[in-house]
Amino acid sequence: MSADSTDGFLDGRLRLRQGRGHRAGTDAVLLSAVTSPGETGLILDVGAGAGAVGLMAAVRAPGAAVGLVEIDPGAAALARENVAANGLADRVSVFEADVTAPGARRAAGLSDEKAALVLTNPPFYEVGRVRVTPDAAKALAHVAAVPLAGWTRACLALLAPGGTFAMIHRAEALADCLAAVEARLGAVSILPILPRAGAPASRILLCGVKGSRAPLSLLAPFVLHGADDRFTEEAERMNRGETGV
């Protein structure tokens, strides 16, 4: 029944075993690409699954400590395997907890306002808005048990003042994303992600700074594929871990 596979990321510098729930791909690479190579603080990947985003962040920022926060025991076990398999146990930890419950966060060893960077690829859908798959692992990864505002509030509780929050989401959820961070973040930037030039955005990458009062900015779009459906040169460099976004 298992559909586990091992996939390579960042030009093979990271090998990730993935289960049959949410399988990381381009969204995870885009989100991890927010990470500055010079980051030396704590990076948290919230809703980490098998650990793709946080482990790529660890590879991109060799001086940073990383925490993978995941509620599902099976996914958390995979994350621990991936940490060990990639030789990152000295600076990457797995926290098995419901991030939206302050008591559960504390019990797992997470402290509020300690992270310099919080990265999250939240479940894209809310209960009642979509038909839920009978596959429990996929449902947990794709359908949120709490509204986006509640998920975001929990993420920001973990973020230190002056720290950066980054979230990738469906483009049509932009209004919900902005509402979730309103009055909580400043210097918010929105990066539209286009599947190809001239197409509507399929994803948005939202970043902001806790405590900042700087205004919102809308960035030039990032285009993933050319007319031949191959990755653009810019996207290829990001996939290899040579550039950020």
pLDDT digits (tens, 9 = 90+) for 173-189: 999 999 999 999 999 99
Within 10 angstroms of residue 144's Cβ, the number of other Cβ atoms is 19
Does 205 reside within a domain?
A: yes
Q: Assess whether pLDDT exceeds 80 at residue 130.
A: no
pLDDT tens for each residue of 3-36: 578 899 999 999 999 987 678 899 999 999 999 9
Does 208 reside within a domain?
A: yes
Predicted model pTM: 0.91
In the chain, what are the helix, strand and coil shares in percent, each to the nearest 5? 30, 30, 40
- 38-65 exposure pattern, b = at least 16 Cβ within 10 A, e = fewer: ebeebbbbbbbbbbbbbbbbbbbbeebb
For residue 187, what are the domain limits? 5-239
Does 54 reside within a domain?
A: yes
Number of domains, the chain? 1
Both structure tokens of 184: 């909580």
Q: What is the pLDDT of residue 21?
A: 66
167: domain CATH number?
3.40.50.150
